[in-house]
Each structure stands twice: as structure tokens, then as C-alpha cells.
Amino acid sequence: MRVTTQPIAGQKPGTSGLRKKTNVFMSEGYLENFIQSIFDATGGANGKTYILGGDGRYFNQHAAQTILKMAAANGAKRVIVGQNALLSTPAASHLIRLNAADGGIILSASHNPGGPEEDFGVKFNTANGGPAPEAVTEAIFARTQAIDEYFIADEIDVNLSRIGSQHIGGMAVSVVDPVSDYAALMETLFDFAAIRAMFAGGFRMRFDAMCAVTGPYAKEIFETRLGAAPGTVVNAVPLPDFGGMHPDPNPTWAHDLMGHMFAADGPDFGAASDGDGDRNMVVGRNTYVAPSDSFAVLAANAHLAPGYRAGLKGVARSMPTSTAVDRVAEALGIGAHETPTGWKFFGNLLDTGRATFCGEESFGAGSDHVREKDGLWAVLLWLNILAEREESVSEIMRAHWSRFGRTYYSRHDYEALPNAVADGVMDSLRSRLGDLPEQTVEGMKVASAEDFAYTDPVDGSVSRGQGLRIVFEGGARAVLRLSGTGTEGATIRLYLERHATGPDGLDAEVQEMLAPVIRAAEALTGIREVTGRAGPDVIT
Ligand code: G1P
Ligand code: ZN
């Protein structure tokens, strides 16, 4: 069935897909226009195979039914969809690769809350399993501005709860168990026997799935396959509103997990994941592990896991992510790449073997086993390392810092600012960048200041305006950029970093250690005065 439509403003994908308020996505033609634009901008759906699934948030199933009917009407050959339209983002990436599919559509607004009043999102991944690169998202956006028709099959809904094959017209719909292929992949990478033995020896873990998509995956992998005690996985049932939680695994939103890990007789190891399962937070007993540190530890110890015994070919991190992993790469004698924020920039590095591990400060780490960051993968690698080293998380952190020094790091977020105010802060600093080198601010001398641009070493594409970076003498850094994942107003992220070596520098309080950098960054940006805020809304 052909439906006449007209362009809808604002369908520009951000850092990770198109995210909007759920009611915007549910408004007439909104989802349909965007999906048709994906097909149109990628050479049409005719004869193609897609993977489809989402994080289970409100509107997930309904959107999946619409997309199936549209794929059928556009001539797709087959869509492989997770049972009940569930697939974690890394599992979807794996299925694209496993089935040599032409692409995948993932329904998620990641760590943003879900529900009728909250957020919904659509991400398009290409045949390599990774998020569509900028050239593709730009083409999709361009198409949304010109679209005048979409196609949708006039058929009843398929039964997404029944595993097996069905049809919509001439298109096959294969409903698959969302967990099994992904769990099998994990078994090829990690020493399940060693981890199972550790659990059998009394090792205790708490995994908080935050009522989001990782619940079924975590239950199967940790409790069933690895023998962790029943009840290890909490908030294990994916709910349309994530049980009212904000499924973002950081100390603020996963405060319940933090409480357990810092209680007397807490578990040995704690972890949480986000809405769609690509993020992770890791906590030891009485020991919070900052994401950039976690990534560095994973890189330094990767060889302890069977899948990485041969060593890493290289590592990559987003520019604002702390430089902790660079020191590991140096020690290992492997390449370290620096990309703009967002997993899509890692795709070419992974595809060409320039990087085996990639990481972001925003609780994201992953490897070339898929083309997305992968929360459970990071947790399993930590478990494998713990099983091999037979040390606690805090002992491992301490040993890491004594060897490489400690990179104190924090992100200060100023959220829901009026767009003009946020742009004002950015524009003002940007216009002064050229004058900053050699200036001393709050006792800190500026070594360099730039508007970060990235040239992809594989396809030569250039991405500009990826964050304002100020490096001080001695290597401390402040980075300022606008978030590309919000759905209301603008969020400024201020990333702060300072490296310390020697036993005296390892035990300081993070914000205290960063205080001079924070003062200098605030003076340079005037962020408190201009925004009228007393301070950041969220500190991670
Ligand atoms: C945020 C994170 C970024 C991550 C993205 C998707 O994007 O900062 O590292 O890749 O979510 O999970 P931002 O809101 O900063 O654009
Ligand atoms: Zn996510």
C-alpha cells in the first residue's frame, strides 16, 4: 500500500540514532517517514535481509510491527526479529554479522528513560553490524526532508511471541530467541569454566539489569551457564517504562547497586547495564571503577581471556575519554587511536584490524566481536580477569595505578539548557581558542587549544566540530562538547582530566584532585555565570 506523506522537520539522527519523545514517534507518519527514508537512502529494501529488535521500551512492539509491514511492502526478502521484538544492541550487531544481513533496525533510546512521557529512538546499523556512519545518517536525514510517500503492507500483525517462521506477503519473518546466539558468542571469547569455578568457590556478584533488555541475557549467562547464585541478577524483567528507572548505569542512577557494593559484607563484584545493553558499570566491594579506568584495565589484561590471548592489535577511544588506555597501549607497543564521540567512528578501525578494543568514558567498552559497545562483554571480561588473577577489584585497580599512574577523570554535565545559552558558551570559547596557548588561567598554563576534527584513516572522511579541547602543561585536559543524544534543550558536557604518578598520587579524592582543572575550565568558559547554574547537574 502506498501512502502519501510529507517531510517532518527534525528527523536528524544524533550521536546514536534518532531520539525523540515517545509521543512524537507515535504521531502520524513520524516513524513511517523515518523508516522509509532509511530504505530509500540505502538503495531500497528490495531483496534485502534485516535484523530487527529493541530494548522493550514503550511502543517497541508496535513500532516493530509497523517496520515489518514496511519492510514487506518495500520488497525485503527476510527480517530476523528477536522474540517479543527484544534484542540488545550488541546482540543485534552480532545477528547482522552472523546472518550476513544487509543491516539492522534497533528500537531504543539507549539509557534515556522510557514510557509514554519519555523517550523512544531508532538506530540503523549497516552490514558490518555497526551504527551507520555519518555519510549514511546524513543521506537518511536528507531523504526525510524530501519524502513524499511510504509503503506499508496492509496485513495483520505477526505473532512476535512465537519462535519460528512466518510470512508477510512474500517476506519471511524469522522470530528468534534473542539470547542464544549472543550467549554462544560469549562462550567463544571467555573461559566459562574458570568463571564457573570462581562462582562455585563462593564468589558473589550482583548484576542490576535496571528493568531493561539485559535481564534475560544476564540470567541465562550468569545464573544458568556460569552457575552464579539465583538472584544474582536483579531487576531482570524488561519493562516498558523500565520500572520507572532511569536505565543509565552510573553511580547516580544505579545508586541501589552502589549501596549494596559499599555495604558491610557486600558482594565481591557488581555491575549494571543500560536500556539497550551496550553500556556497563563495574563496581568492586567498596570500589567504584571509573569507565576510562575500567577500559584501561580491560586492555591491559585482555590476554587473560581465551578470545584475546594473541594480544590486541590496537585500541581506540573517543577524544573526551581519559588517556589512561594510551599508557597501556604504549606499554603493549600497540596503536592508540582517538576518534570523535559515538561508536560509529570505531567501525572502520575495527573492520580493518587497526583496533581490537574500543572504549568511551560514557560507560562504553567493546571489541571486534561485534560493532557496538557491549555491556555484558565488559562484565564477562572483568569476571575472566578476576578468575585468572584471583585478586579483588580493588587490588587490581591499585596494581594498575602503581604500574601506569592514575588518570583522575570526571565529567560534569549541565543539562536541559536553552539551546541559545549552550551555543553561547560553546561559540564564545571557540572564538577565543587561538588566543589561549601560553595563557595562564587559575595557575594552569594552556599548552594547546583546538576545535577537534577527525580524519578517518580508512575512508578519509572528515568530521569537524567534535569538541573543544584545552590541554594544559603537564597533560591535564578540559574538553567541552554538546550532547547529541538528548531530546529536550541542550546539554553541555565538560570533561576533566589530570594524571598522577607515584604512590602519593593514587589515593586522592577525584574532584579534589581535579579542582585546579575544574577552576581553570570554569574560568575559561564562564559556564556557571552564563548558564546561571550553581554547578553541574550530574557528575560522573
Ligand atoms: C552519549 C555519550 C557517548 C555515547 C552516546 C551513545 O552521547 O557521551 O559517548 O556514544 O551517548 O551511547 P552524547 O549525549 O554525549 O552525544
Ligand atoms: Zn545504550
> Which regions of 183-240 does DSSP assign to beta strands (E)?
205-208, 233-234
- Which residue's entry shows cell 577525584? 510
- Alpha-carbon distance of 339 to 330, in angstroms, equals 18
Say yes or no: 290 and 410 in one domain: no
Please give the positions annotated as active site: 110
Q: Is 339 in the pocket of ligand 1 (CB under 6 A)?
A: no
- The CATH code of the domain that includes 520 is 3.30.310.50
What is residue 63's predicted lDDT score, i.e. its pLDDT? 98
Residue 109 C-alpha to ligand 1 middle, in angstroms?
11
Say yes or no: 97 and 205 in one domain: no
Per-residue pLDDT of the chain (540 residues; tens, 9 = 90+): 999 999 999 999 988 899 999 999 999 999 999 999 999 999 999 999 999 999 999 999 999 999 999 999 999 999 999 999 999 999 999 999 999 999 999 999 999 999 999 999 999 999 999 999 989 999 999 999 999 999 999 999 999 999 999 999 999 999 999 999 999 999 999 999 999 999 999 999 999 999 999 999 999 999 999 999 999 999 999 999 999 999 999 999 999 999 999 999 999 999 999 999 999 999 999 999 999 999 999 999 999 999 999 999 999 999 999 999 999 999 999 999 999 999 999 999 999 999 999 999 999 999 999 999 999 999 999 999 999 999 999 999 999 999 999 999 999 999 999 999 999 999 999 999 999 999 999 999 999 999 999 999 999 999 999 999 999 999 999 999 999 887 789 999 999 999 998 777 788 899 999 999 999 999 999 999 999 999 999 999
Residue 360 C-alpha to ligand 2 middle, in angstroms?
12
Q: What share of the chain is helix, strand, coil (3-state, %, to 5)?
A: 35, 25, 40
Q: Which domain-ending residue is among 109, 141, 176?
A: 176
Say yes or no: 274 and 169 in one domain: no
Nearest-CA residue for ligand 1 atom 6 is: 16
Say yes or no: 89 and 203 in one domain: no
Q: Which domain-ending residue is among 176, 205, 234?
A: 176
pTM above 0.85, yes or no: yes
Say yes or no: 336 and 410 in one domain: no
Rg value, the chain, Cα: 23
- Alpha-carbon distance of 109 to 126, in angstroms, equals 18
Q: Which domain-ending residue is among 108, 141, 176?
A: 176
- Alpha-carbon distance of 77 to 172, in angstroms, equals 6
What is residue 329's predicted lDDT score, i.e. its pLDDT? 98
Residue 459: helix, strand or coil by DSSP? coil
- Alpha-carbon distance of 454 to 463, in angstroms, equals 5
Nearest-CA residue for ligand 1 atom 8 is: 362
Q: Is 345 in the pocket of ligand 1 (CB under 6 A)?
A: no
Say yes or no: 255 and 363 in one domain: yes
Say yes or no: 413 and 396 in one domain: no
What is residue 501's predicted lDDT score, i.e. its pLDDT? 84
Say yes or no: 155 and 288 in one domain: no
Q: Is 360 in the pocket of ligand 1 (CB under 6 A)?
A: yes
Task: Please state the atom number of ligand 1 nearest to the C-alpha of residue 318.
Answer: 9
What is residue 484's predicted lDDT score, i.e. its pLDDT? 86
Which ligand is the nearest neighbour of the Cα of 111?
2
- Alpha-carbon distance of 351 to 372, in angstroms, equals 12
Nearest-CA residue for ligand 1 atom 15 is: 483
Nearest-CA residue for ligand 1 atom 13 is: 483
Nearest-CA residue for ligand 1 atom 1 is: 485
What is the grid cell recorded at 512?
579534589
Say yes or no: 488 and 522 in one domain: yes
What is residue 505's predicted lDDT score, i.e. its pLDDT? 77
Residue 15 C-alpha to ligand 1 middle, in angstroms?
6
> What is the H or E stretch that residue 378 is in?
helix 375-389
CA torsion 454-456-460-466 (nearest 10°) is -30
> What is the H or E stretch that residue 141 is in?
helix 134-144
What is residue 237's predicted lDDT score, i.e. its pLDDT? 97
Say yes or no: 523 and 505 in one domain: yes
What is the grid cell recorded at 423?
551555543
Residue 462 C-alpha to ligand 1 middle, in angstroms?
19
Tell me how many domains the chain contains. 3
Q: Is 112 in the pocket of ligand 1 (CB under 6 A)?
A: no
Q: Is 359 in the pocket of ligand 1 (CB under 6 A)?
A: no
Q: Is 294 in the pocket of ligand 1 (CB under 6 A)?
A: no
Residue 511's domain comprises 406-539
Say yes or no: 125 and 35 in one domain: yes
Say yes or no: 119 and 228 in one domain: no
> What is the H or E stretch that residue 187 is in?
helix 180-189
- The CATH code of the domain that includes 161 is 3.40.120.10
What is residue 502's predicted lDDT score, i.e. its pLDDT? 74
Instruction: Please return the burial class of 335, using the count of CB atoms within 10 Å of its CB with bins 0-12, 13-18 and 19+.
Output: middle
